[in-house]
Chains A and B, each alone.
Chain A
């Protein structure tokens, strides 16, 4: 199975400052058949169910602020938040769906300084 590794696992951020989370996969997530990279990002806010932020590498889900962006290629990916707000606190997960079984990263806990 494809192993997903996130860094850092804990990320303290000052409100208004930028933040970035890295995610690395054990093999390329590029689908050579269609050119898509099947990497998604989810946020689980405290006490809530996960919610979709970014799909297929860089597409923002509905109602996700443009402060959030996804990028990367091959096996290295980044989620960026341009200016962190209080509502961004929670655990961020990357997930690959290039092949079964789908696999998540361990999660990155973003907290405010």
Chain B
């Protein structure tokens, strides 16, 4: 069974940093691209970033480029999202998801909450 478990969400002050993790199990992690999607409280889904299976290519939404960095460690079966220069509008539940060979997001974690507030 595919499992994705996010962690690292917390309350952080504006301008602060945080690192999210997504522990994967139940599939061959190194063979799949992975992605982050976020959801502000009471709002819709917003795609954040994606990383290829080999970790050689990454893409970002305009709102996070330069502040958030996606990475992966296939030896640990873990996806990361390094967050810096955090702003109030980064407050959201952050979901990691597996990307199929076709490119869709077929398995999602339960999410981790990031709150940016003073």
Contacts and interface: CB of A to CB of B under 8 A. Distances in A.
Contact of A52 (B45, B50, B59, B106): B106
A103 B47 contact: yes
Contact of A101 (B59, B102, B110): B59
A49 B108 contact: yes
Interface stretch (A12-20, A21-29, A38-46, A78-86): A38-46
Contact of A50 (B45, B50, B60): B45
Interface residues of B, number: 22
Interface in A36-63: 38, 40, 42, 44, 49-52, 55-56, 59, 61-62
A106 B46 CA distance: 9
Interface string A76-113: 00000000000000010101010011111111000000
A66 interface: no
A100 to B, nearest CB: 5
Contacts, number: 60
Contacts of A51: 108
B59 A93 contact: no
A102 B44 CA distance: 14
B104 A56 contact: yes
B60 A44 contact: no
Nearest to A55: B104
Contacts of A62: 106
Interface of A: 1, 38, 40, 42, 44, 49-52, 55-56, 59, 61-62, 91, 93, 95, 97, 100-107
Interface of B: 37, 44-47, 50, 59-62, 95, 97, 100, 102-106, 108-111
